[in-house]
Amino acid sequence: MHPAVEFQQVSRVFDTVRAVDGVDLTVAEGEFFSMLGPSGSGKTTCLRLIAGFEQASAGCIRLHGRDAAGVPPYERDVNTVFQDYALFPHMSVLDNVAYGLMVQGVARAARHRQAEAMLAMVKLADFGGRRPAALSGGQRQRVALARALINQPRVLLLDEPLGALDLKLREAMQTELKALQRQLGITFVYVTHDQGEALSMSDRVAVFKQGRIEQVSSPRELYNRPRTAFVADFVGGANVIDASLAQGLIGRAQAFSVRPEQMDFVTEDDGGIRLAATLVDVQYHGAVSHYQVVLADGRQLAVSRPNLLDATQAAPEPGQAVVVGWPAHAMVMLEA
Amino acid sequence: MPTISIRRRLARLLYRRQTLLLLLLLTPPLLWFGVVYLGSLLALLMQSFYTFDDFTMAVTPELTLANFRAIADPANPLFGANIDIVLRTLGMAAAVTVACALIAFPIAYYMARYARGWQKGFFYIAVMAPMWASYIVKAYSWTVILAKGGIVYWLLQVLGLTPLLEAVLSLPLVGGSSLSTSNLGRFMVFTYIWLPFMILPIQAALERVPLSLLQASSDLGARPAQTFRTVMLPLAFPGVVAGSIFTFSLTLGDFIVPQLVGPSGLFIGNYVYTMQGAVGNIPMAAAFTVVPVVLIGLYLTLARRLGAFDAL
């Protein structure tokens, strides 16, 4: 059984910029695969390479086992949901959704019927007669989704589709997308810079940095066992203790990361790892509070504590001296 | 308490009363538009109802519909000649519009989607430079180019295509005694002169089509020709219509090119010019000017029906 998408040492070079630099990845059939990274990290270029809007400068791309070199987008069994939705403004919503069938020569009655079914699936059953300009952002996004699914592609590509939506709508769409993927069984390849999105929806996540993949793991694995300082910091925000400080604390000159929620302010000395610091800033976030502490040598750490109503300890104030500690198992040794 | 200058007071007043500011800004151009433009047009329209005495060559302000009947009433003796003029002009306007659209589209397409860097600037200048030359100079140059001893004849002779030219010139509607006295020649000059007016709106419309739309179309399975037909062309159509309004109305009103190039046979513009000039039949001339106004009105309504102004 071939993987849905396979990259072998794929590079894409623009003049002197290596947008994608020797990337290897494998997306399994039926998987929800996310590509996560900051702007300019190469994740969107990789998506466009899968869709066929770009050609690889080097390396080999395989779709379901077949080499995709020189295959134009209209011959690939891949469909895309664009970041700006790219709905055709001169067609009705129904014609937009039916477009994929129209270019294949499907008769009007049949393709309209299928388009109506598709719209019902994305919960826009009565919107067929409207124009894209008359829809809200969330509605347009769902039309784009219906349009991309009508050809029943084996791989669906989503290019930061939820970026323009407000938080509540985004969260609702995340649940819907995940449910849809489970229901249809299609391989989803999802590009985002929002690590919360990637973690909540995906089966596996690839973290991109400057055209290369730093780590590919399941969300839990990615969060609990980041391999590099970049991944530790990008996914979840972590305290990265560099090698020199680590030498003094645990006797090993290897950097490690500790999640802010694993750290706490300790009062008793029970033999665990302790660091003296000064509290600088407190940010209240409803469910949790983020505490910014500074060590004697200027290094900054972040501690996250839930705001429990009946906290036995009084929260420290900015300017106070505190002692920060964490359990040994919370330390994740980093490779780089 | 510091005294506020008159200027400052006026500025604050205009800030508070936005309508007053708008009125002050719009009144001069609206006055000009109303009095000079619309007023003169209305005065002309009024003239079309006056009587012209053929014997005394005098215009009297007696209201009559005789001028319009000469154009619209088949029973009127002048109707045949007048309707010939209108149809001749209309036919040329339609032909020129179609030809301009067909020639301009590939040029505009290349300019909008392929030209980059210095090429883009080059194309813009190449398209607009002819508009900087005098209109009459251009028309006259074409009479020289199309003349019997001119470049076109010479080129066709060199290529051995003279028999072809003879055959074309002997066609009833299109031809004539020579290229510069044939409808074909007149058509070529019109097409050349109005071409920039067609290229620029089409280029603007094509440029506005987002790349993601074309990629989406391709992604959904449309071959390049299908993408062109179903996405590019419909979105470029308003630009074509905008350009066609230019070419159509400019040809309808033109009176210089028909005089310089082409067979005898008046265009609407020529007839109006003749009537108001030596003959002094202002009422008839005025009545004739109503014809292009009505025709353009019908054309715009048709364009609107076809959805050309939807993007607005």
- Residue B212 in contact with partner chain A when CB distance is under 8 A: yes
| Helix (H/G/I), strand (E/B), else coil: A156 | strand
Buried b (16+ CB within 10 A) or exposed e, A257-272: bbbbbbbbbbeeeeee
Write out chain B in H/E/C secondary structure.
Answer: CCCCCHHHHHHHHHHHCHHHHHHHHHHHHHHHHHHHHHHHHHHHHHHCCCEEECCCCEEECCCCCHHHHHHHCCCCCCHHHHHHHHHHHHHHHHHHHHHHHHHHHHHHHHHHHCCCCHHHHHHHHHHHHHHHCCHHHHHHHHHHHHCCCCHHHHHHHHHCCHHHHHHHHCCCCCCECCHHHEHHHHHHHHHHHHHHHHHHHHHHHHHCCCHHHHHHHHHCCCCHHHHHHHHHHHHHHHHHHHHHHHHHHHHHHCCCHHHHCCCCCCCHHHHHHHHHHHHCCHHHHHHHHHHHHHHHHHHHHHHHHCCCCCCC
Q: What is the CATH number of the domain that holds B205?
A: 1.10.3720.10
Quick one: average pLDDT of A163-171?
87
What is the rounded CA–CA span in Å between residue B206 and residue B106?
11
How high is the pLDDT of residue A336?
A: 65
Asked if the Cβ–Cβ distance from A74 to B220 is below 8 Å, we say: yes
Question: Which of B202, B197, B185 lies closest to B250 in space, CA to CA?
Answer: B197
The span from the CA of A200 to the CA of A202, in Å, is: 6
Q: Average pLDDT of A29-38?
A: 95
**Which residues in chain A touch residue B215, judged by CB atoms under 8 angstroms apart?**
51, 53, 73, 80, 82, 86
Question: In chain A, which residues have their Cβ closer than 8 Å to the Cβ of B218?
Answer: 52-53, 72-74
User: Considering only CB atoms, which chain B residues are within 8 Å of A90?
Assistant: 234-235, 310
| Superfamily holding A5-228 | P-loop containing nucleotide triphosphate hydrolases (3.40.50.300)
Report whether CATH 1.10.600.10 matches the domain A239-333: no
- How far is B174 from chain A, CA to nearest CA, in Å? 39
Tell me if B290 is assigned to some domain.
no
Look at residue B182 and tell me if it is in a domain.
Answer: yes
B99, part of any domain: yes
Question: In chain A, which residues have their Cβ closer than 8 Å to the Cβ of B213?
Answer: 86, 88
Inside any domain, residue B137: yes
Cβ contact A173:A162 at 8 Å: yes
CA distance A115 to chain B (A): 14
Domains A5-228 and A239-333 share a fold: no
Tell me how far apart the alpha carbons of residues B6 and B187 are, in angstroms, rounded to a whole number: 62
pLDDT band at B63 (very low <50, low <70, confident <90, very high): confident
Q: What is the pLDDT of residues B251-297, one digit of tens each?
A: 999 999 999 998 888 899 999 888 888 788 888 888 888 889 899 99
ipTM entry:
0.86
Q: Give the span between the Cα atoms of A72 and A217, in whole angstroms.
A: 31
CA of A307: how far to CAs of A285, A288, A291, in Å? 9, 5, 12
* Mean pLDDT, residues B183-209 taken together: 93
Residue contact B219–A80, C-beta within 8 A? yes
User: Measured at the alpha carbon of residue B112, what is the angle toward residues B118 and A86, in degrees to the nearest 5?
Assistant: 130
User: Domain spans of chain A?
Assistant: 5-228, 239-333
What backbone torsions phi and psi does residue B61 show, to the nearest 5 degrees?
-75, 35
Query: Quick check: B222 contacting A, CB < 8 Å?
Result: yes
B213 touches chain A (CB under 8 A): yes
Residue type, B248: F
Long-range CB pairs of A233-238 (<8 Å, 24+ gap) are: A233/A257, A234/A36, A234/A37, A234/A38, A234/A195, A234/A207, A234/A209, A235/A36, A235/A195, A235/A198, A235/A199, A235/A205, A235/A207, A236/A195, A237/A302
What is the pLDDT confidence band of residue A239, given thresholds at 50, 70 and 90?
confident
**Residue among A72, A89, A147 whose CB faces B218 most closely:** A72
Over residues B147-155, the mean pLDDT reads 89
What are the chain B neighbours of A73 within 8 Å (beta carbons)? 215, 218-219
Compute the nearest-CA separation of A221 from chain B (Å). 34
DSSP A136: -
Chain A residue with minimal CA distance to B229? A103
Whether the CB of B226 is below 8 Å from some CB of chain A: the reply is yes
Interchain proximity A100–B220, CB inside 8 Å: yes
Query: Which residue from A73, A147, A148 is facing B218, i.e. has the nearest CB?
Result: A73
| Residue B9 counted as domain residue | no
Q: How far is B206 from chain A (nearest CA, A)?
A: 14
Q: How far is B64 from chain A (nearest CA, A)?
A: 49
Q: Which residues of chain A are within 8 Å of residue B211 when distances are taken between CB atoms?
A: none
Q: What is the pLDDT of residues A198-227, one digit of tens each?
A: 999 999 999 999 999 999 999 999 999 999
Residue found by looking up tokens 């003749």 in the block: B274
Phi first, then psi, for residue A192 (nearest 5°) are -155, 160
Domain count, chain B: 1
Burial class (CB in 10 A: 0-12, 13-18, 19+), B142: buried
Query: Is residue B235 less than 8 Å (CB to CB) from chain A?
Result: yes
Residue A313's pLDDT band, with cuts at 50, 70 and 90, is low
Q: Which residue in B223, B230, B231 is closest to A74 by CB distance?
A: B223
Q: Give residue B208's domain range.
A: 91-275
Q: How far is the C-alpha of A80 from the C-alpha of B35, rounded, in Å?
A: 58
- B177: in domain: yes
Burial class (CB in 10 A: 0-12, 13-18, 19+), A57: middle
Residue A135 has pLDDT above 90, yes or no: yes
Tell how strand A288-295 and strand A256-258 pair up. unpaired
What confidence score (pLDDT) does residue A82 get?
Answer: 94
Helix (H) or strand (E) holding A108: helix A108-121
B50 lies in a domain? no
Question: In angstroms, what CA-CA distances link A183 with A151, A178, A187?
Answer: 16, 9, 11
Smallest CA–CA separation between B116 and chain A, in Å?
16
B218 to A86: CB separation less than 8 angstroms, yes or no = no
What residue type is assigned to position A88 of the chain?
F
Which of A52, A78, A82 lies at the smallest CB-CB distance from B216? A82
Report CB contact under 8 Å: B216, A78.
no
SS3 A88: coil
Of these ranges, A66-75, A166-175, B46-55, the one predicted with the greatest mean pLDDT is: A66-75
Note whether B212 contacts A90, CB cutoff 8 Å. Answer: no
**What's the mean per-residue pLDDT of chain A?**
91
Q: Which of A88, A92, A96, A102 to mutate to test the interface with B (most CBs of B within 10 A)?
A: A88
Check if the beta carbon of residue A188 is closer than 8 Å to that of residue A33: yes
What confidence score (pLDDT) does residue A330 get?
Answer: 86
The DSSP result for A169-232, as a single string, is HHHHHHHHHHHHHHHH--EEEEEES-HHHHHHH-SEEEEEETTEEEEEE-HHHHHHS-SSHHHH
Pick B216's closest partner by Cβ from A78, A86, A104. Answer: A86
Mean pLDDT of A305-314: 76
The verdict on residue B289 lying in a domain is no
Residue A177 — pLDDT band, cuts 50, 70, 90?
A: very high
pLDDT at B117 > cutoff 80 = yes
* B59 part of contact set with chain A, CB < 8 Å: no
> How many Cβ atoms are within 10 Å of A114's Cβ, its own excluded?
17
Residues in chain B closer than 8 A to A103 (CB atoms): 217, 220-223, 226, 230
Pairwise CB contact (< 8 Å): A88 & B222:
no
List, in sequence order, every residue forming a beta bridge with A35; answer none if it has no partner: A191, A206
Percentage of chain A exceeding pLDDT 90: 65
